[in-house]
Amino acid sequence: MEDVISLSIGEPDFVTPWHIRQAGIQSLEDGKTWYSPNRGFIELREEICRWFAHHYRLEYEPKTECLVTVGGSEAIDGCMRCLIQPGDEVLIPQPSFVCYQPLTEMAGGVPVIIETKAKNSFRLTPEELKAAITPKTKLLVLPYPNNPTGAVMRREHLNAIADVLRSTDIMVLSDEIYSELTYGDTRHVSFAAIPDMKERTIVINGFSKAFAMTGWRLGYALGPAPIIKQMTKLHQYAIMSAPTMSQLAAVEAMKNGDNDSAYMREQYDMRRRLIVDGFNELGLTCFEPEGAFYIFPCIRSTGLTSDDFCEKLIQEEHVAVVPGSAFGDCGEGFVRVSYSYSIKHITEALSRIGHFVQNHHADTL
């Protein structure tokens, strides 16, 4: 099919900044092609911890509380496999990234889905959390900023979640891969920065979104030393180490990449406002996302299911988006639309979607 416009993939349309690519190229020119230490190069771990201290006022020990992984997904998998015993329950707010539920099941855990709601801007509420906790609850996944909804948990929302957890032994996996893509005047707050939460939280982050380094496959985990030690064992036996070239490029990103992240965030913010206004004008209402690079419009007014909407849209107008139901049952009636594309790309897609909606609204009359 020709002339398809895709708003489906969650990948930056920016090329990795040149100075970061140059550091990777230089590592090859210098013949640095050997394995790294299992945990990752100490220089990179020091830079990650320095960066976290600067941005989020969180202090981690590079030697024992930081693990460099092959993407954030490996860190999520390793965290779950090290924490979950057969029969343990894992609380997973949805809609959310598709990997949490299958990885829980692969680790022998029992996924307990918490359906977040549009009226709450798809944030996890303390009431929803309390209702889901049982004596078997072992782990809470906090996927914010959120894929696919763009929802963000601000400090006051995180404090309310922490109030529920303080009387429990529940651990927290805080997936903060979109932390640097948080919009507005208030920066991202890490859950580990909430009082009393650091000792129970494993923070997952990486380089793919903030520095447009998806293909370099590099992430990291920060958390209590005993847990990072066990994750390192699993990483050592299953992976050995993250790619050397990627790690040396990431050192440069941590040292000198903040301006690049800020520029990309500004560009995404401009596209965010354009696409939210565009969908609302089409009658496909969506709340204003505060993070990541997705919107999650409601398509119920068309009378179509999420799957049907997406299939018909690509067949009739050659525009690709993702069914909301792919991110959990409560995503039915919504679609995920990525705005990590050019203004020209988005504007043309909005025009085609407008034509599609007009036709299908007419069909429902």
Residue 96: pLDDT band with limits 50, 70, 90: very high
Q: Give the 3-state secondary structure of the chain.
A: CCCCEECCCCCCCCCCCHHHHHHHHHHHHCCCCCCCCCCCCHHHHHHHHHHHHHHHCCCCCCCCCEEEECHHHHHHHHHHHHHCCCCCEEEEEECCCCCHHHHHHHCCCEEEEEECCHHHCCCCCHHHHHHHCCCCEEEEEECCCCCCCCCCCCHHHHHHHHHHHCCCCCEEEEECCCCCCECCCCCCCCHHHCCCCHHHEEEEEECCCCCCCHHHCCEEEECCHHHHHHHHHHHHHHCCCCCHHHHHHHHHHHHHCHHHHHHHHHHHHHHHHHHHHHHHHCCCCCCCCCECCEECCECHHHCCCHHHHHHHHHHHHCEECEEHHHHCHHHCCEEEEECCCCHHHHHHHHHHHHHHHHHHHHHHC
Same domain, 218 and 294: no
Residues 233 and 267 in one domain: no
pLDDT digits (tens, 9 = 90+) for 219-241: 999 999 999 999 999 999 999 99
Q: Is the N-terminal amide bond of 17 cis, ω within 30° of 0?
A: no
Domain shared by 124 and 66, yes or no: yes
User: Residue 1 has what pLDDT?
Assistant: 75
Residues 88 and 201 in one domain: yes
Residues 174, 250: one domain?
A: yes
Residue-number span of the structural domain to which 246 is assigned: 18-256
Comparing C-alpha atoms, which of 306, 309, 296, 286 is closest to residue 363?
309
- Which pLDDT does position 10 carry in this prediction? 87
Residues 201 and 281 grouped into a single domain? no
CA 136, CA 150: separation in Å to the nearest integer? 30
Task: Tell me, yes or no, whether 266 and 232 share the same domain.
Answer: no
100 close to 197: Cβ distance less than 8 angstroms: no
CA distances from 249 to 52, 204, 243, 260 (A): 18, 19, 10, 14
Q: Check residue 113 and give its pLDDT.
A: 98
User: Of the candidates 239, 256, 273, which is a domain's last residue?
Assistant: 256
Q: Render pLDDT for 309-364 as a digit per residue (tens, 0 to 9).
A: 999 999 999 999 999 999 999 999 999 999 999 999 999 999 999 999 998 875 55
State both tokens at 232. 């390192």
Residue 245 has pLDDT above 80, yes or no: yes
For residues 167 and 271, membership in a common domain is answered with no
- Residue 160 has phi, psi (to 5 degrees) of -65, -35
The domain that holds 297 is classified in CATH as 3.90.1150.10
151 and 247 part of one domain: yes
Is a pLDDT exceeding 50 seen at residue 365? no
Shared domain for 229 and 136, answered yes or no, is yes
The residue type of 243 is P
pTM for the whole structure:
0.95
The total number of structural domains in the chain stands at 2
Which of 256, 276, 308 is where one domain is finished? 256
Of the three residues 223, 256, 289, the one that is the final residue of a domain is 256
pLDDT at 45 over 60: yes
Residue 283 pLDDT more than 50?
Answer: yes
Supply the CATH number for residue 144's domain.
3.40.640.10
- Residue 165 pLDDT > 80, yes or no? yes
Which two tokens mark 322? 């993702």
Residue 215 has pLDDT above 90, yes or no: yes
- 97/238 same-domain check: yes
User: Which two three-digit tokens encode residue 255?
Assistant: 């040292």
149 and 27 in one domain?
A: yes
